[in-house]
Amino acid sequence: MINRIVFTVDIDPGAKLAGGLKLVHPMCIVVGREVVSKGKLTLYQSTTLGGSNNKETFHDDILVKQPYIYDNVIIYTASVVIGPIIIQENAIISANSTITKNVPKNATMYGVNKSKLQNA
C-alpha cells in the first residue's frame, strides 16, 4: 500500500518475482497477480505487465496466465506486456511497445509485436 501511495507502483502480492527485480524511475508501474519472473528483471517507468482476458496456455507443463519472464529481461518506458506469453532470456522490450506474443531469446521487441534478433 505504501508503494501505491508514494511511488504509484502497483505490484500485486500474488506476483511471483524472483530476486533481482530492479525498478528504474518507479512511477506508474503495474504488475499483475499471475506474473512470474525467473531471474533479473528491470522495469522502467509506466510499464504494465499482466492482463489476459482469462486466456491461458501451457509452457514446460506450467500453466501461464500472464507474462512468464526468464532471466535478464529489460522492459523500457511505457511498454505494455500482456497475456499468457513467454519472454525468454536476455530479451529487451523497447519503449512504448505493446507485446502480446512470445518473445524469443536475445530478441529486441519494439512497436506492436515486432522483433529484431540481436544476434542475427
Domains of the chain: 2-117 (2.160.10.10)
- Look at residue 113 in the predicted model and tell me its pLDDT: 81
Q: Are 95 and 79 spatial neighbours (Cβ–Cβ below 8 Å)?
A: yes
Amino acid 5: pLDDT: 64
User: How many alpha carbons fall within 13 Å on the CB side of residue 105?
Assistant: 3
Residue type, 107: A
pLDDT at 29: 94
What pLDDT is stored for residue 120 in this prediction?
44
Mean per-residue pLDDT pooled into runs of 10, the chain (120 residues): 70 93 91 96 97 89 95 97 96 95 94 69
